[in-house]
Chain A
Amino acid sequence: MMSREDFLQPLTVQDPAKDMSLFALFESILFLEPDARVIDGCAIPEIFRDLNLDQIVDAVTAGRDEYDLKPFFYTPLASVAAINYRCEVLRDLEDQALAGYVSSFASRMREMRHSLALRDKLYYERQKQRWFLDAVERYCSAVDSLRASLIKADIRSEGLRRFRDWIGCYGESDTFTGLRVETSELLAALRDITYSLHIRGRRVTVSKYGSESDYGADVLNTFAKFSQGATKEYQFDRRLDAEMNHVEAAILDLVATLYPEAFSSLETFCSRHASYLDGTIARFDREVQFYLACLDHVRRFQKTGLPFCHATVSNLSKEVRARNVFDLALAATLLNSRSPIVTNDFYLKDPERIFIVTGPNQGGKTTFGRTFGQLHYLASLGCPVPGSEAQLSLCDRIFTHFERAESVRTLKGRLEDELLRIKHILDCATPNSILILNESFLSTTVNDAVFLSKLVLQKIVDLDLLCVSITFLDELASFGPTTVSIVSNVDPKDPTSRTFKLVRKPADGLAYAIAIAQKYHLTSQDIEARILRTGTQQGAR
C-alpha cells in the first residue's frame, strides 16, 4: 500500500517524476479521463461564428483572461460519462456556499500571483523576500481554507469528492504543514516588529519602539466632546507606488540590524521554498474557473427569469426534446437593451430527424437554428443549457452551412461554392453528426433550389443526420416521415409584430395575410358571423 508521504513528496511543478498512482486519486476537475486531450493551443471551431458561440464564449470568459479558459470551450467531450462528470461538478457548484469557497480560494490564489509578480518586479532584496513570503502565506491560506470548507460541504460529484480527498491528504502532508508553520511564524515575527523613527531635518534615528503614547489619539480625545454626532474621518492618500525609495531601504536595513534573527530567517526561507506551488493545485485553480464562469454567466439570465438546465445527453437515441429554450447570444444582446426574450419548445420523436423551418422573415427562424446548435454544443461541453428542460443527442460533430459573404469573392460561382461546401459536410458527417442548414441555394431559381434542396435532403435522410433546415421553400416542409415542419408564428391581432414563437404546423405561406384579415375582422368566418348577427338584430326588431 502506498503511504501518504510516497505521493506527496514529489508534488512540485518542477518535478517531472510524479508518482503515477497519484493520478488515481485526482488529476483534473474538468476531465474524467486521466489522459485528457491536450487542449491548449487548439483552434476556434468553424461553427463558432455561425452559431454565435464566439459571442457566448467571449461573454462567459470575460474578466477571466488570466485563466485562458477558451481552449476548454473549443473542446467538446466525446463521452456521456465525461459530460456527466462535469454536470455533477456544476450541480455541486450551483450551491452558492460551495461556489463561494471556491471563489475565495481563487481570489487568494490571484493575490498570490500578484505577490509573486511584485517579487519579480521590485528591486530591493528585503522587499522581494517579503513579497515572496506573502505569496506563500496566501497560498497556504488558499489551500487551508478550501480544504476546511470542502470537508464540511455537501459534495456529490465524483470530481469534487476526489479533489476533496486529494486536498485533504495534501493539506495534512508534512511538506505542506511544515511550510505553513514556518510561514506563519516568520510572518508573526516580522509583524511584531515595531520601531520608531525620529525625523529631524536630514537625520532619521531608528530605534525600537519605546511605548510613547499616540499623540493623534490624545488630540482627538481632547476635542471629541465638541462633536455633534457622526463626523467624517479624514484620510490622506498614501503614495501608491509599490517600490521603496533608497531612504526607506536604508531605514529597513537599520531595522534589520535591530532585529537580526527575523531577517536572516526570511532570507533562508526564500531559498528553501522556491518551488512551493503544487501542480495539481495550480491546475485546479485554472480549471475550476470554467465552472464558475459558466455559472456566473447563467446567473445573469436567471435573474431575469430565464431558465437554464442540465441537458440529459444520450448517445443511444436521436429523440430530442427541449422546453423554453433560447439563443444565448441573442439573449445577451436583448438583455442589454432590456427587451423581452422569447423562448421556444421543440421535440423530435422517432423516426423524426429533421426540422424544416419556414415562415416570415425576421420571425426567429435563424435564431431557432442557432439555438438548436448551441444547445447541442453547450451540452457537449457539460455546460448548463438555456432552457427549462432538454434531452439532447450526443453528437460527434456539429456542422453548419450559413451563407458566407466572403464566399461571393471566390472564383467559383456562388451556387457551385455552396454545393462544394455541402458536399464537403456530407462527406465528413457521420450518422452521429448534427447539421444546421440556413437558407441554402438563394442564388438560384426557385425550381432549381427545390430540386437541389430535395436531393440534399435525401442525402441527409439517408445519413440519418439530426438536422435543422431553414428555408423559404414551403415545398420542403412535407418532405417525408423523418421531416417535421416548423413555422414561425405571427400575432393574429397584429400581423406586423412578430411573436418569435416557432410551432409545429404545416408550412403555410398564407398565415400572414389571414392574420391581417383577422385584425380587421374580415376573414370569411368573421364576415359571415357579422352579417348573421346584424341580421338577427334587425330581425328582432
Chain B
Amino acid sequence: MKVHLMYRDQDFYLGGSRQPASADLIQDLDLQTLFDAMADGDKYLLDVAQEAVLVSLHDPNAILYRQEVLVDCIENPEAVWELYAIAVEALEGERKIWGWMSRTYPEGALHRSRDVLGLFFGLLKKIRAFAETRSTEFSSDGFKQLFTMLALELDDEYLRVVEDHLRRLEFRDGALVSATLGEGNRGVNYVLRKPHYVQRTWAERLYESLARLTSDTRSELTYEVHERDEAGYRALSDLRSEGIRNIAASLIQSTDHILSFFGALRRELAFYLGCLNLRDRLTRKGEPVCLPEVEPTEPATFVACGLFDPCLSLNMAEKIVGNDVNAANSLLVMVTGANKGGKSTLLRAIGLAQLMTQCGMFVPAVSLRASLSHRLFTHFRREEDIEMKSGKFDEELDRMNKIIDDAVPNSMALFNESLASTTEREGAEIAQQIVRALKKVQVRVFYVTHMFTLAHGLYQDDKGEALFLRAERRDDGERTFRFQEGEPLATSYGEDLYRQIFETSTTG
C-alpha cells in the first residue's frame, strides 16, 4: 500500500540524496527562512520541507506530477488537512499507548501491540470512509491513485479479517505451541499455532473429547504444575512466553507496518502542506506566485518575469520589486552594477526559483520558464569566514575546489563576488579561466561581480550566448533595484555609496 503523492512510482523518505552543497545553499540562499515559512512552527513540516527542497527532481514529468497534486491541495486545503490529521492521530495515538516493551517479556509486547492494532483498526475504517466520500473532489493522478488503492485494500472482507485477529489474539483458550528438540534436547523453534478447534461448536468439542478418551492414550499426555510449585508455575509461564515470542514479534512487525503506512501518508502530505503554508504567507502580501514551465536541461533557459526573492519578502513588511531575467539559451549570466543595487538579491531569487521549480513547487514570480539543472552550487563571498588557519583567498579557492569536485555537466553555479579577495587582476584571470571551463562543460553560471576586468573580459569573449545585466541607477544616483541588459560599465558606483554615507554623516 503505497501513498505515492511525491513520486508516481517511488516512495518518499527523509534522507534522500540532497544537493551535494546543501549546507552552502542553505547559508547562501537563506533557505532557513523559506523552510520556516513552510513549517509554520511545525517541526515535522520543517524536516520534510528541507528534504523535499534539497532533493531535487530531474525529470520534467516528475515535477509535473507534483505540480498537479499541489494544485489539488490548493483547491481542497481542508480535506488535505483532514487526511493529514488522521495520519497524525495514528502516529501520536500509538506513541501514547503504554506498554511493557522489553526484549525479554513478549507477553507485555503482545498486549500492547494488540491495543495498538485496535487503535489502527478504528483509523483504517475512518480513512476508508474518507476515501469513499471525498475522492471526487480530487483530480490529480496522485490523489486518484491513492483513493482507489485505499478503497480496494481496505474493503469489508479485509476489515472483517482484522477484527477476527483482534479477537483471537486474546487467547481465551490457552496457547497452542509447537516445538522441536534443539541443543541439549531443549525445546526450540516454538511456534504459536492456530488451533483447529477454535471455530468448532460445543457438540463437536464434546465429540472430540470422547474420541480422545477412547483412542490411544499415548497420543496426548498432560503435566500439571502443583499448586504450591511457584517455580514450576513461573517456568510454565516462561514457556508460554517462549511460545508467543513469534506471534508477539509478528504483531509488532504488523503494527509497525501499519504505522509505517500512516507515517508515509503523513510524510508525503507534509510537503504539500508546507507549500500551502508558504503560499498563504506570500499571497497574503499580494506577492505573485506561479507554477513554472519546466524544460529539459538543454538548452539552458531561465526566463523569468517579476522574479523576486521570497525570503527577503518574508522578512519585510512591504512588497518587493520583481525583476525580469531573459536568459533564453544562455550559459552565462553576468550581473554587474551599483553596490547595494540588489545584485545579490537577484542571484538569490534565481537560485531559490530554480530549487523550488525542481521540487515541484510554485515559484516566486509572475511567470517562469526554466530548464532543469543536475546540481546547484553557490559560491558567495563569506565575510564571516575569516579563519586564522587559511587566508581568505585560500578559503575561497578551497570552496571553489570543492564545487569543481562535485559539479557535473548541466549543473548550475551561482557566484556572488567570487574570487574578489585577492587583487582584481589575479582574481579576474582565475575567474575567467573557471567560467570559460564551466561554459565548455555546459555548467550554467550566474556571476555577480564588481570586477570590471572580469566582466569586460567575458563580454569580449561572448558570442551571443551570454546575458549581461546591470543594476539600474538613475542619473540622480537613486537605485531602483531593477536590472538592464547591456555591456558592463567601468565603475560600480561605489563612490555613490561612499558619498551617501559620508555626506549623511557630515550633514547629520
Could you tell me which A residues sit within 8 Å of B by CB distance? 118, 122, 126-127, 129-131, 134, 190-191, 193-210, 212-220, 222-229, 231-239, 242, 244-248, 250-252, 254-255, 257-258
Contact A237 B104 (CB under 8 A): yes
Knowing A118-B184, A194-B179, A197-B243, the reply to whether A207 touches B254 (Cβ < 8 A) is: no
| A-B contact list, 5 entries, CB within 8 Å | A131-B183, A212-B178, A232-B256, A234-B252, A246-B232
- Shortest CB-to-CB span from A262 to chain B, Å, is 9
Contact A254 B162 (CB under 8 A): no
B231 at the interface (CB under 8 A from A): yes
Provide the bound-state CA to CA distance between A191 and B188, in Å.
10
**Mask: chain B, 326-346; 1 = CB below 8 Å from A; 0 = not:** 000000000000000000000
B486 at the interface (CB under 8 A from A): no
Contact A244 B249 (CB under 8 A): no
Closest 10 pairs between A and B when the two form their complex, measured CB to CB: A200-B174, A212-B193, A223-B254, A216-B250, A247-B235, A130-B185, A226-B257, A234-B249, A226-B261, A216-B246
Closest to A187 in B: B181
B109 at the interface (CB under 8 A from A): yes
Query: Quick one: which of B103, B177, B250 contacts A199, CB cutoff 8 A?
Result: B177
Which chain B residues lie closer than 8 Å to A227 at the CB level? 257, 260-261
Q: A196-B176, A199-B236, A214-B193 are in contact. List 4 more A-B contacts (CB 8 A).
A: A199-B243, A213-B194, A219-B165, A227-B257
B387 at the interface (CB under 8 A from A): no
Which chain A residues lie closer than 8 Å to B246 at the CB level? 214, 216
Which chain A residues lie closer than 8 Å to B242 at the CB level? 238-239
Contact B236 A228 (CB under 8 A): no
Contact B184 A222 (CB under 8 A): no
Which chain A residues lie closer than 8 Å to B238 at the CB level? 239, 245
Query: Quick one: which of A195, A225, A233, A236 contacts B178, CB cutoff 8 A?
Result: A195
Which chain A residues lie closer than 8 Å to B109 at the CB level? 234, 236
Which chain A residues lie closer than 8 Å to B186 at the CB level? 127, 244, 248, 252
- Shortest CB-to-CB span from A193 to chain B, Å, is 6
Contact B239 A194 (CB under 8 A): no
Contact A224 B257 (CB under 8 A): yes
Knowing A215-B193, A250-B223, A258-B218, the reply to whether A197 touches B239 (Cβ < 8 A) is: yes
Contact A257 B221 (CB under 8 A): yes
Closest to B153 in A: A225
Contact A205 B1 (CB under 8 A): no
Provide the bound-state CA to CA distance between A217 and B249, in Å.
10
Knowing A212-B195, A228-B260, the reply to whether A191 touches B245 (Cβ < 8 A) is: no
Provide the bound-state CA to CA distance between A134 and B225, in Å.
31
B502 at the interface (CB under 8 A from A): no
- Shortest CB-to-CB span from B395 to chain A, Å, is 31
Provide the bound-state CA to CA distance between A431 and B257, in Å.
81
B54 at the interface (CB under 8 A from A): no
Contact A247 B249 (CB under 8 A): no
Contact B261 A212 (CB under 8 A): no
Closest to A223 in B: B254
Knowing A216-B250, A231-B260, the reply to whether A202 touches B221 (Cβ < 8 A) is: no
Provide the bound-state CA to CA distance between A219 and B113, in Å.
12
Query: Quick one: which of B173, B179, B195, B254 contacts A219, CB cutoff 8 A?
Result: B254
Give the contact-size bracket for chain B: 35 or more
Contact B224 A203 (CB under 8 A): yes
Contact A248 B187 (CB under 8 A): yes
B294 at the interface (CB under 8 A from A): no
- Tell me what chain B mostly uses at the interface: helix, strand, loop, or mixed: helix
Which chain B residues lie closer than 8 Å to A129 at the CB level? 185
**Mask: chain B, 257-271; 1 = CB below 8 Å from A; 0 = not:** 110110110000000
Provide the bound-state CA to CA distance between A236 and B165, in Å.
22
Contact B194 A218 (CB under 8 A): yes
Which chain A residues lie closer than 8 Å to B219 at the CB level? 207-208, 258
Closest to A234 in B: B249
Contact B223 A235 (CB under 8 A): no
Closest to A125 in B: B185
- Shortest CB-to-CB span from B354 to chain A, Å, is 30
Knowing A197-B179, A218-B194, A223-B257, the reply to whether A233 touches B249 (Cβ < 8 A) is: yes
Query: Quick one: which of A208, A222, A229 contacts B162, CB cutoff 8 A?
Result: A222
Which chain B residues lie closer than 8 Å to A127 at the CB level? 184-186
Contact B178 A205 (CB under 8 A): no
- Shortest CB-to-CB span from A479 to chain B, Å, is 57
B253 at the interface (CB under 8 A from A): yes
Closest to A129 in B: B185
Which chain A residues lie closer than 8 Å to B263 at the CB level? 228
Provide the bound-state CA to CA distance between A417 and B457, in Å.
89
Query: Quick one: which of A203, A218, A219 contacts B222, CB cutoff 8 A?
Result: A203
Closest to B227 in A: A202
B57 at the interface (CB under 8 A from A): no
B151 at the interface (CB under 8 A from A): no
Closest to B106 in A: A236
Provide the bound-state CA to CA distance between A134 and B181, in Å.
12
Contact B103 A235 (CB under 8 A): yes
Which chain B residues lie closer than 8 Å to A197 at the CB level? 176-179, 187, 239, 243
Provide the bound-state CA to CA distance between A227 and B106, in Å.
22
B100 at the interface (CB under 8 A from A): no
Knowing A215-B192, A220-B253, the reply to whether A205 touches B220 (Cβ < 8 A) is: yes
Which chain A residues lie closer than 8 Å to B177 at the CB level? 196-199
- Shortest CB-to-CB span from A527 to chain B, Å, is 39
- Shortest CB-to-CB span from A131 to chain B, Å, is 5
Query: Quick one: which of A195, A218, A244 contacts B179, CB cutoff 8 A?
Result: A195
Query: Quick one: which of A206, A226, A242 contacts B184, CB cutoff 8 A?
Result: A242
Which chain A residues lie closer than 8 Å to B247 at the CB level? 215-216, 219
Contact A236 B245 (CB under 8 A): yes
Which chain A residues lie closer than 8 Å to B191 at the CB level? 214, 216
Provide the bound-state CA to CA distance between A219 and B244, in Å.
13
Contact B175 A199 (CB under 8 A): yes
Closest to A126 in B: B185
Interface centre among A212, A228, A232, by most B CB within 10 Å?
A: A228
